[in-house]
């Protein structure tokens, strides 16, 4: 168990494909149990870049290409910043962990990115939703929002 947030979260890649099938439970990739500072900052940059583009198109106009690019960028961040290892082995023993392999293979990277999104999206998006809900909305306000004058006018004597 790590000092901050618990044990890594195992993401199943399916049945073991390693030589000799040493893993009865299947192949796994491990994610940090909580969104890291680097991961959260990088994911926030992706959200900040794509959410305005999505808002421009409106809620009714879904753009599959834009949504796919958003998912891809977020998935890349999660794989690069949030994965910690795997249980994959080769002929010579355990394979060194490589995010490049996860990024280069759809069948291996997709389940990891999906699991990471399920695990981290609340931590990533809740602060943004809270900030939006407390910000001022368009439209009339109750009372004046203009600054009040604190000085009184006095007539100059001639």
The b-or-e profile of 69-82 (16+ CB within 10 A means b, else e) is ebbebbbbbbbebb
Write down the pLDDT at residue 126. Answer: 86
Write down the pLDDT at residue 102. Answer: 94
Q: Give the closest residue to 16 by CA, choosing from 83, 109, 88, 84.
A: 88
Q: Give the closest residue to 115 by CA, choosing from 13, 17, 46.
A: 13
Residues 132, 145: Cα–Cα separation, whole Å: 20
Report the predicted TM-score, pTM, of the whole model to 2 decimal places: 0.75
Residues 70, 19: Cα–Cα separation, whole Å: 36
Query: Domain ranges in the chain?
Result: 9-132
**CB-neighbour burial class of residue 107 (10 A; exposed 0-12, middle 13-18, buried 19+):** exposed
Write down the pLDDT at residue 64. Answer: 84
Write down the pLDDT at residue 12. Answer: 95
Asked whether the beta carbons of 43 and 59 are under 8 A apart, the reply is no
Per-residue pLDDT tens, the chain, 158 aa: give them. 455 568 999 999 999 988 888 888 899 999 999 999 999 999 999 999 988 887 787 765 577 888 889 999 999 999 999 999 999 999 999 999 999 999 999 999 999 999 999 999 999 988 877 777 776 556 555 555 555 555 555 555 65
């Amino acid at each position: 168990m790590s000092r901050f947030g618990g044990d890594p979260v195992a993401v199943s890649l399916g049945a073991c494909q390693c030589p000799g099938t040493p893993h009865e439970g299947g192949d796994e990739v491990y994610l940090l149990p909580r969104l890291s500072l680097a991961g959260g900052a990088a994911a926030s940059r992706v959200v900040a870049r794509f959410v305005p583009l999505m808002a421009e198109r409106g809620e009714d106009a879904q753009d599959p290409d834009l949504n796919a690019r958003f998912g891809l960028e977020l998935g890349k961040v999660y794989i690069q910043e949030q994965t910690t290892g795997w249980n994959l082995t080769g002929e010579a023993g355990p394979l060194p962990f490589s995010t490049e392999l996860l990024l280069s293979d759809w069948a291996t990277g997709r389940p990891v990115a999906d699991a990471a999104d399920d695990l981290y999206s609340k931590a990533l998006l809740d602060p943004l939703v809270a900030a939006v809900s407390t910000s001022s909305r368009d439209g009339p306000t109750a009372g004046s929002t203009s600054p009040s004058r604190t000085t009184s006018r006095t007539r100059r004597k001639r």
